[in-house]
A and B are shown apart, each in its own frame.
Chain A
């Protein structure tokens, strides 16, 4: 029976040495592995359900097919396949030797490593070795000559030109890894060759490669003695290399060989679509490494630095300071320090986290199932919790918290887009409907998107769909709010929308907004109760195919289609829009990046609310170039309100205005089915736009040539004649002249009636123990564009007002908080004069950090009367023995700017208005700086106690997260009852309220070029140029 002798001609010492080294290597592997596992055990729970059985089956599938590796990179896929299977066979084969020699034979005396099994083993090992070598050489060639930027780890997206030291180390590691494996394989072949040369077994052990190499070596002059020497030395080289490799697996890049199996087994293919929740006992976000889940930590170790995510990331492609791979690698370095308390924000800058568009492109392509966006959102949650975010974004979050939409529009205007329809839209809360249309923010409020919403409504109506909307009951679905990291606000939005849906009777949900679709379908849980959540393209595709909507005028347009990230990649809806386009007779030309490789428009992850950092090329521009490169596209089709907005802008600003149109798929469908309900002026508009675009295309091509030809002929450049200026007269720009028609009535005896502080009944409050700063806050009413007056004409209708905390007061709250924080002692008391309905603003002040609240009901006085308010505040200031009272510089409703000085006057305290800086030790005089007109700053010092109005912009008010808002519910709020308020403090009365007289500009209509020509003419005329 053919076999091979192990440890041929070994001394007992060498034999012992080998076993010692082998055991040490395996120990190193086991210890390394154990360290990782212990680290994972210290981390938080998975946060998402892990289905081990299905996961393992899919993992085996992924590994066997290598589908995740071959995707979009067949070369690397093939190379890795060769390496993987070559290595796996060699590993298993080598293990059978150990199995027989060290386990089966010593225990049972049986041997199996002989005969045909042995010959088969030899052949398999030879083939596997070749696969491994070829794969490794392919990878080495790729690294050495393919010039792949992603593999040099230089962070060009943030302006680096050279790799960081750690990246250089990674590069060395990559090379050592490949070369070590190659040397193991080659030394294995060499060992085989010399053994065959010496032993000359029958059939050469069925080892064709070893045999061929042996023949080559002997042909090169290697004699038996030389072969024996090589055999002795090379055995050790091969053995030690292989064992070093084993030892290093858990400590180097090699750990992906273990971690990737785990990572693939627990892969959550919906990780970006359905973010993990924050458990009650968990911190809001990740501020230490062990705040991550064990899955997160496993992901970090599974990363092979392959750079697929780096390649596809729209942020990285646009030079935002984010590469998902580099983020994972930086986190991994920190994780491997083993310090669970280490703060990941120390290695990942906030601007990196804010760069993410939550498009899911990275997680989609990651061959080992890493969920990069989840890490980013978890870290963003911590930033939001600390209020560390872009002021614009913070403003949006506050707006959403206040009014339930990001446009800052009153809730009752949410359904206003339906008013122009020829048919009523049902209120799903009032009558049962088949389909509940969740409209979403953009589709409800953005003027361009509103036209699409109306068109979709008309299409639904044409298809006789029984649908309804939630009108003012709907708030933003919260998809992007959640991806920004404001989990508390998301919870409150989803709870609200869920409660509204619970009031409605419907069978399924439809939406035009993929962002809303995503969160409703994946994150709303009980509220949706297993009902289908469909995109309008699902509905339209079915209708067009079944004939429920008939195509009467096929479009015959050449179009390209942009897959919205939230519809395609996140929800795997790739077909419906394409079915629609086919049905209406469009020729669809796919962009290079389409389907699951679609390229984000740049609006996701809350980026639509965040200004872009300088130096980035907007992702939407890149997309426009991509579409234009297809050549001769008529229409760039979208089916997401945010896409429409982003690409409409980008088409103009990226220089492709003449190349194609951007249109929503509903516009095309409406045209193809010749929707009768479209107002007469709408269809021509689209038709005109198409014609215009064609004309522009022609112009763009012909005009330059024409000018060139003319110039060549006449030698002069033609100057465009300025367009005529409309002869409209400016009117009403000057205020009405002030006139008195009658002598005012007798005002009675002239006398001074000095206002005194209100007297308040005693109310519950702590004994004063230190500094006490009062902040006066106002619950201000905000009017939308549409409002009505009360029948008596003295005020507007209360239902037309939306109330919120006066934004100017937020600066005052912040100034107070910063003062007590700086002094390390003191209490901030928020005071409001207003009815019970004003309490939310008081609570908001408490959420931001005020310690307690006091509310005074202004029964006898109007909250719009600054003197009455000041007299009531004076009563509180005396009760509280306040040391300092701060107010906002004015209220945004009546803008009297009078409270601080009036209060100071009533109390007889020092006071100052429009203060931008304040320094105080809490005892002596206050040093303040006031901002005068034109930005001059006036430094003064005042005695305490004092009243100051704080100028807006003096600080950046902290953000109250929804969590802080919830916590503030348990802070004490006392109600102070007015016992006495002098008549001199009240009595200012509104005589009438009216719409202000307005002038009206002569509007210049037309395209940008036409308007510009007219403005240019005005400028030239006025400037005499």
Chain B
């Protein structure tokens, strides 16, 4: 009884990045919470994920054989069954699209508490507090999860670092998931976004534009600027949503994470959480936004509150 249960997530044979991060947070919490750190993976061939899940601090990896593709009913049912067996204090999963798909359903089955989009858990005078945003991330909210015997926590991407490799054993468990059959989602297909000539994840230098560029016809101008600077051209979500640039250019939670980026130039980006997720880790961030209070300045190394177009002109001259 007690401990932490982490539910892994995978897509087409690859573990989700947030699973490692959830394990990282769980590892840090383990000593305080007590009990084992158990990671479960629900998949067609759970064993294939064993090595990637047996990270430092993990006590056991539980493999549940089920359909390969994500199905909220199956995940909910399996996690519920395991929770009944393990009686964990915390159930951790990523605040991802799939996490949102089954996490809250699991939470209402278990009762107890639910914290979605959490970015940390801290102890305060004997209380266990989960941290999350509020009012469009303008406030930090602390939720007291001490009283609940079990709390489902959906962890915001990038909130913790995955631990290094460990040695946890794999245990395959077979669960009766029949009761989920009526609600089960039938997998049909995956469709990749249209291929693009950019790879945000590999780029070392990215110039991204946001709403601040105002107009679709300014895209070309900034694309040319990026080219001139030798940067990969990225964008924030509104730009991709408006169809001004293909989705492949989008940096952020619903886009790509700039994993190898060393220098990030954010032009006209206010810095919604969704975008920060994809770039806040970058070593050097230069942000240009006329709003001096823009959240992007909370993660940027350098900032400049000046007119974007005037700056673009001047930069063009610099790199002539």
Contacts and interface: CB of A to CB of B under 8 A. Distances in A.
Whether A and B are associated in the same complex: the answer reads yes
Contacts of B154: 898
Contact of B149 (A649, A749, A995): A749
A991 B139 CA distance: 13
B250 interface: yes
A932 B97 contact: yes
B159 A735 contact: yes
Interface in B53-99: 69-73, 76, 83-84, 87, 89, 95-98
Contact of A994 (B84, B140, B217, B310): B140
A934 B256 contact: yes
Interface in A107-143: none
Contact of A935 (B89, B121, B248): B248
A995 B134 CA distance: 10
A1009 B190 contact: no
A949 interface: yes
Instruction: Give the one of B103, B112, B122, B129 with max A CB within 10 A.
Output: B112
Nearest to A997: B140
Given A742-B123, A744-B146, 12 more contacts: A744-B127, A744-B128, A754-B110, A895-B133, A898-B114, A905-B104, A925-B186, A936-B191, A941-B185, A1015-B304, A1015-B315, A1016-B315
Interface of A: 391, 611-612, 614-615, 649, 652-653, 657, 720, 726, 728, 730, 732-745, 747-755, 781-783, 785, 787, 796, 801, 864, 866-867, 870-871, 889, 892-902, 904-906, 908-914, 925, 927, 929-943, 949, 952-953, 984, 987-1005, 1007-1009, 1011-1016, 1018-1019, 1022-1023, 1025
B105 A911 contact: yes
A648 to B, nearest CB: 9
A934 B136 contact: no
A910 B73 CA distance: 7
B125 A742 contact: yes
A1003 B298 contact: no
B168 interface: no
B52 interface: no
A989 B121 CA distance: 15
B134 A894 contact: yes
Instruction: Give the one of A737, A896, A937, A1013 with max B CB within 10 A.
Output: A896
Nearest to A391: B242
A1023 B149 contact: no
Contacts of A1004: 302-304
B126 A1022 contact: no
Interface of B: 1-2, 11, 16, 25, 28-29, 31-34, 69-73, 76, 83-84, 87, 89, 95-98, 100-114, 116-117, 119-129, 133-144, 146-150, 154, 159-160, 182-193, 205, 214-217, 229-230, 241-242, 247-248, 250, 253-256, 262-263, 265, 273, 280-281, 284-288, 292-293, 295-307, 309-311, 313-315, 317-319
Given A738-B121, A740-B31, A745-B126, A653 B104 contact: no
Nearest to B144: A991
A751 B109 CA distance: 11
A736 B124 CA distance: 15
Contacts of A1013: 314, 318
Given A738-B122, A866-B116, A1012 B318 contact: yes
B292 to A, nearest CB: 8
Contact of B254 (A931, A994, A1003, A1009): A931
A996 B97 CA distance: 25
B94 to A, nearest CB: 10
Contacts of A989: 143-144
B192 A936 contact: yes
Contacts of A909: 183
20 contacts: A657-B310, A732-B298, A735-B159, A741-B124, A745-B128, A867-B107, A896-B104, A910-B183, A913-B97, A914-B97, A927-B188, A935-B193, A935-B254, A939-B191, A940-B187, A993-B141, A999-B299, A1001-B287, A1012-B314, A1019-B229
A939 B188 contact: yes
A755 to B, nearest CB: 4
B74 to A, nearest CB: 12
Contact of A1018 (B76, B133, B302): B302
Contact of B72 (A391, A894, A912, A925): A912
A952 B241 CA distance: 9
Contact of A993 (B31, B139, B160): B139
Nearest to B277: A933
A878 to B, nearest CB: 15
A1003 B303 contact: yes
A754 to B, nearest CB: 5
Contacts of A741: 123-124
Given A739-B122, A901-B103, A1002 B303 contact: yes
B95 A901 contact: no
Contacts of B159: 735
A695 to B, nearest CB: 16
Nearest to B255: A934
A540 to B, nearest CB: 29
Nearest to B220: A614
A325 B92 CA distance: 67
Contact of A739 (B28, B146, B191, B287): B28
Contact of A783 (B108, B139, B184, B230): B139
A743 B32 contact: yes
Contacts of B128: 740, 744-745
Contacts of A1015: 265, 286, 302, 304, 311, 315, 318
Contacts of A734: 281
Given A744-B123, A1018-B286, A1008 B108 contact: no
Contacts of A1014: 302
Given A912-B72, A1015-B286, A901 B301 contact: no
Contact of B32 (A744, A749, A1016): A744
Contacts of B107: 867, 898, 902, 905
A280 B94 CA distance: 55
Given A896-B117, A912-B101, A987 B315 contact: no
Given A744-B32, A993-B140, A1003-B303, A612 B114 contact: no
Contacts of B304: 1003-1005, 1011, 1015
Q: Which 7 pairs between the two chains have the least Cβ-Cβ distance?
A: A753-B111, A905-B105, A1012-B314, A740-B32, A1001-B303, A935-B193, A939-B188
B265 A990 contact: no
Contacts of A932: 11, 97-98
B299 A995 contact: no
Contact of A738 (B29, B111, B142, B205): B29
A1018 B207 CA distance: 13
A895 B73 CA distance: 23
A766 B109 CA distance: 32
A783 B229 CA distance: 38
B216 A614 contact: yes
Contacts of B301: 728, 730, 733, 1001-1002
Nearest to B88: A750
Nearest to A896: B116
A652 B307 contact: yes
B293 A733 contact: no
A349 B18 CA distance: 49
B314 A1008 contact: yes
A782 B254 contact: no
A914 B141 contact: no
Contacts of A745: 126-128, 146
Given A753-B112, A782-B135, A993-B134, A910 B185 contact: yes
B297 A930 contact: no
Contacts of B147: 747-748, 987
Instruction: Give the one of A611, A895, A902 with max B CB within 10 A.
Output: A895
B137 A996 contact: yes
Contacts of A895: 117, 133, 136-137, 273
